[in-house]
Chains A and B, each alone.
Chain A
């Protein structure tokens, strides 16, 4: 097996061996080594990592200058500026700090729908993004939520955390309904290191906007990955039906003809446009996906275009 330069062959081979072979095949893992996680704004971390932090300090990347003040480290004086302007300036550097990538997966019953199921794609994408983050010595915190409650965050760091990440993802199963607002608000309140957050969901139900606002308020940089099955995007239902909600068991009588399907498609487009507008207004990345798309196409195409990875 050939391994791309810069990748750790051992880790690549290890990834599928911990129960996540299907989530993160070795070929995909090798190709992911070319990617890195992009954050829109620096985040404060606890340990020095590869990402820029909000604090200025020692580093290799010059951030700004400020006039020298008493007590400053004389080693930070920019003598070249002094030579030009005969004033003392202190060079300010961006401190490279570690960042936590938060992966939030909606595991409500509706996510089990499709071929492949939407949750499967969410887990694949989460595994891939987690792999990218861990490869850059970032923290990765994975949480799934449903109406039954929100799982406990399990932060891992570095490539050594990959097996745990994949195991936790592989163990996720769809069940119950969705209480999105509660889940997101609780997570926002509980998280200690806000950072990039990827929310994988089909976004059915109410309360999502409030939850995302809570995440934003808590300092997260959320991205919404909206996954729908082709049957949801372009339903082929017809006739007099009694639709049964797979999550709630509720029934909706409906007579579906071409006109109704047109209306459905219009409502779906309006719904997704509304999400796009909502996210755009808050600087949140909104990524609508078809669950039948390939993971590599999403990662190297859509995610790159949306600035989630680089």
Chain B
């Protein structure tokens, strides 16, 4: 046992003060008595009248001395040596991958690891070390760097939550090694169950100690769960269940959609075996599907998976043209285009269900379908053809507009129609003739239909030969048919970023989490990067202008643990463990001050109770305090009888 701050023992002098307070006869209260004749005989005993007296053998004094002594000792920060080596710096690595949620220990592996690390961190802090807290799963994050604040360490450890991913140890060890490097006598403490990806692990130079957690292995997982809709409308559901335990188990798999239970079957799986099957449903699937393993195992996280039927998206484009190979080729090659139907302007056959109509030098058909007008031949509601422009020089008028694709301004144009647009149109590309601006590319509304107009015939320009052309076509399609252009998969794994280009018409994107909470997503320059974290069905809500109903895109986020569902505790290869600890490290310390303070508080409470109960009601506590501390003021007349009659009583 030792003392970190021996000078703190100087507070033991307070015990002398307490003793002196008990020995000193304080200011006395005048008390009337019928006669002092008998009392004078007692006062012949010298201690009764002298200012100092022998310390009374009272429990109160003993308790007060004990409290003061304990507090003084706590202030000196006594400690006990522990057998563990602690350097000047301790890097804590806490695994919070999915396997750490296993409940083979109470309450789970992560919590047990957290408690063990807390103790070790306090020991290190007691020894004067600085503590760094690093949490790792699929990614490694430094939660606290080089702190000597026990509360901060505690908060950092408490902030760690299990992530539904498989852990990767290599990155974490690399970071820990880098953190330990350059610090004298640094050591690394790794708390993990070893059920993680340790391939290619390079042990750091610093001493590494492994704090193993967990012991069980009974776990089954839904390894794969997909749903596909065949062209004939039949839904094909594929399920694969894996047994990671050491014994043969039988689990029941439940498949349900948002409306009802679709399938339930029992699977018997020997050690390490998978069981897979396909369900074909001719009835329509209602929304997202859930696959669930009934019963319990040590890791509940991977007992459930979600799937969303593939969306039949892809723009259906109708091309009204007398023949334009550039347009046909460009539109057909666009990744978001599902079908391209071409009609001659003279044909009366309607397009049917079409997402975008491209009118190439022809008047568009009636309807509400968005329009791409290429060199409109006549005036229409919202725009008027006022003449012809020869050799217009294009200039970008809205450089940040999504339609202002790179290279567009370098387009050489032979001729174009002169268009007069109603207010509300956004001109992207224009030319100036005699001080007047004439639009060459603009977006607006024609007869209530979202429209993009190109004022020149593509064949009268070199635009189809430029790289800007397919970009422009894609941007136009995104603008006019946003609901078909979202390049988002139907399934994802937590922690895996998803990127998508938000159509220009989309005014905002929100995500509804599985728990129902709705939060906005940030869109930067039309790009959305989203990192789903929680398991379950997410809903991306894309807001559209003009009161249009928002577009809701479901997305299934399932735990993709893979081998991470194998929660068997695997030993970490500790080739370099403690190689320097015996020489350079110092023995760990376990501080006792908090225990002493608690004991002092308990004794203080006992002292208060004793004082309170021992004197009440004869001497109220407040009166006792005033008597002992006369400078606080004494109630005038205190202790005086209120009347002659019975004045001697108290």
**Chain A residues engaging chain B, CB cutoff 8 angstroms:** 109-115, 117-118, 202, 204-205, 229, 231-232, 235-248, 250-255, 257, 260, 263-264, 267-268, 271
How distant is the Cα of A240 from the Cα of B626 in the complex, in angstroms? 12
B42 contact set on A, CB distance < 8 A: 254, 260, 263-264, 267
A232 contact set on B, CB distance < 8 A: 33-34, 38, 648
Could you say which of B27, B43, B56 contacts A257, with CB atoms under 8 Å apart? Answer: B56
B347: Cβ under 8 A from any A Cβ? no
Could you say which of B26, B33, B644 contacts A243, with CB atoms under 8 Å apart? Answer: B33
Is A204 in contact with B43, judged by CB distance below 8 angstroms? no
Assess A244 versus B32: contact at CB under 8 Å? Given A231-B648, A236-B649, A252-B43: yes
The smallest C-beta distance from B645 to any residue of chain A, in angstroms, reads 5
B265: Cβ under 8 A from any A Cβ? no
Could you say which of B39, B645, B646 contacts A264, with CB atoms under 8 Å apart? Answer: B39
Is A268 in contact with B38, judged by CB distance below 8 angstroms? yes
Is A254 in contact with B39, judged by CB distance below 8 angstroms? yes
Is A236 in contact with B56, judged by CB distance below 8 angstroms? no
B25: Cβ under 8 A from any A Cβ? yes
Is B648 in contact with A113, judged by CB distance below 8 angstroms? yes
The smallest C-beta distance from A291 to any residue of chain B, in angstroms, reads 10
Nearest 7 A/B pairs, CB to CB = A113-B34, A110-B34, A204-B35, A242-B28, A245-B36, A115-B646, A231-B648
B48 contact set on A, CB distance < 8 A: 253-255, 260
The smallest C-beta distance from B579 to any residue of chain A, in angstroms, reads 67
A112 contact set on B, CB distance < 8 A: 34, 644
Could you say which of B26, B645, B646, B650 contacts A237, with CB atoms under 8 Å apart? Answer: B650
A268 contact set on B, CB distance < 8 A: 38
B648 contact set on A, CB distance < 8 A: 113-114, 229, 231-232, 235
Is A239 in contact with B39, judged by CB distance below 8 angstroms? no
Is A252 in contact with B40, judged by CB distance below 8 angstroms? yes
The smallest C-beta distance from A266 to any residue of chain B, in angstroms, reads 10
B636: Cβ under 8 A from any A Cβ? no
Q: Which residue of B lies closest to A266 (CB)?
A: B42
Is A239 in contact with B38, judged by CB distance below 8 angstroms? no
Is B32 in contact with A240, judged by CB distance below 8 angstroms? no
Assess A240 versus B645: contact at CB under 8 Å? Given A254-B42, A254-B48, A257-B56: no
A240 contact set on B, CB distance < 8 A: 25-29, 627
The smallest C-beta distance from B86 to any residue of chain A, in angstroms, reads 53
How distant is the Cα of A239 from the Cα of B26 in the complex, in angstroms? 10
Q: Which residue of B lies closest to A113 (CB)?
A: B34
How distant is the Cα of A111 from the Cα of B39 in the complex, in angstroms? 17
The smallest C-beta distance from A237 to any residue of chain B, in angstroms, reads 6
Q: Which residue of A lies closest to B615 (CB)?
A: A238
A114 contact set on B, CB distance < 8 A: 34, 646, 648
Is B34 in contact with A255, judged by CB distance below 8 angstroms? no
**Chain B residues engaging chain A, CB cutoff 8 angstroms:** 25-43, 45, 48-49, 53, 56, 618-619, 627, 639, 644-650
B43 contact set on A, CB distance < 8 A: 252-254
Q: Which residue of A lies closest to B33 (CB)?
A: A243
Assess A255 versus B30: contact at CB under 8 Å? Given A236-B649, A263-B42: no
How distant is the Cα of A236 from the Cα of B613 in the complex, in angstroms? 17
How distant is the Cα of A268 from the Cα of B43 in the complex, in angstroms? 14
Is B38 in contact with A271, judged by CB distance below 8 angstroms? yes
11 A-B pairs, CB-CB below 8 angstroms? A114-B646, A115-B646, A204-B37, A205-B35, A244-B32, A253-B25, A257-B56, A263-B45, A264-B38, A264-B39, A267-B41
Is B28 in contact with A244, judged by CB distance below 8 angstroms? no
Is B650 in contact with A255, judged by CB distance below 8 angstroms? no
Is A246 in contact with B32, judged by CB distance below 8 angstroms? yes
Is A253 in contact with B645, judged by CB distance below 8 angstroms? no
How distant is the Cα of A252 from the Cα of B649 in the complex, in angstroms? 18
How distant is the Cα of A257 from the Cα of B48 in the complex, in angstroms? 10
A271 contact set on B, CB distance < 8 A: 38
A260 contact set on B, CB distance < 8 A: 42, 48
Most buried by A among B34, B53, B56: B34
The smallest C-beta distance from A163 to any residue of chain B, in angstroms, reads 28
The smallest C-beta distance from B615 to any residue of chain A, in angstroms, reads 8
How distant is the Cα of A66 from the Cα of B39 in the complex, in angstroms? 59
Is A267 in contact with B38, judged by CB distance below 8 angstroms? yes
How distant is the Cα of A267 from the Cα of B45 in the complex, in angstroms? 13
The smallest C-beta distance from A292 to any residue of chain B, in angstroms, reads 11
A255 contact set on B, CB distance < 8 A: 25, 48, 53
Most buried by B among A235, A252, A267: A252
The smallest C-beta distance from B437 to any residue of chain A, in angstroms, reads 102
How distant is the Cα of A244 from the Cα of B32 in the complex, in angstroms? 5
How distant is the Cα of A110 from the Cα of B648 in the complex, in angstroms? 11
Is B33 in contact with A245, judged by CB distance below 8 angstroms? yes
B37 contact set on A, CB distance < 8 A: 204-205, 245
Assess A253 versus B28: contact at CB under 8 Å? Given A239-B627, A247-B34: yes
Is B36 in contact with A250, judged by CB distance below 8 angstroms? yes
How distant is the Cα of A253 from the Cα of B31 in the complex, in angstroms? 10
* 13 other A-B residue contacts (CB within 8 Å) besides A115-B649, A205-B35: A113-B33, A204-B35, A205-B37, A231-B648, A240-B28, A240-B627, A241-B30, A244-B33, A244-B36, A246-B33, A252-B39, A253-B43, A254-B42
The smallest C-beta distance from B357 to any residue of chain A, in angstroms, reads 104
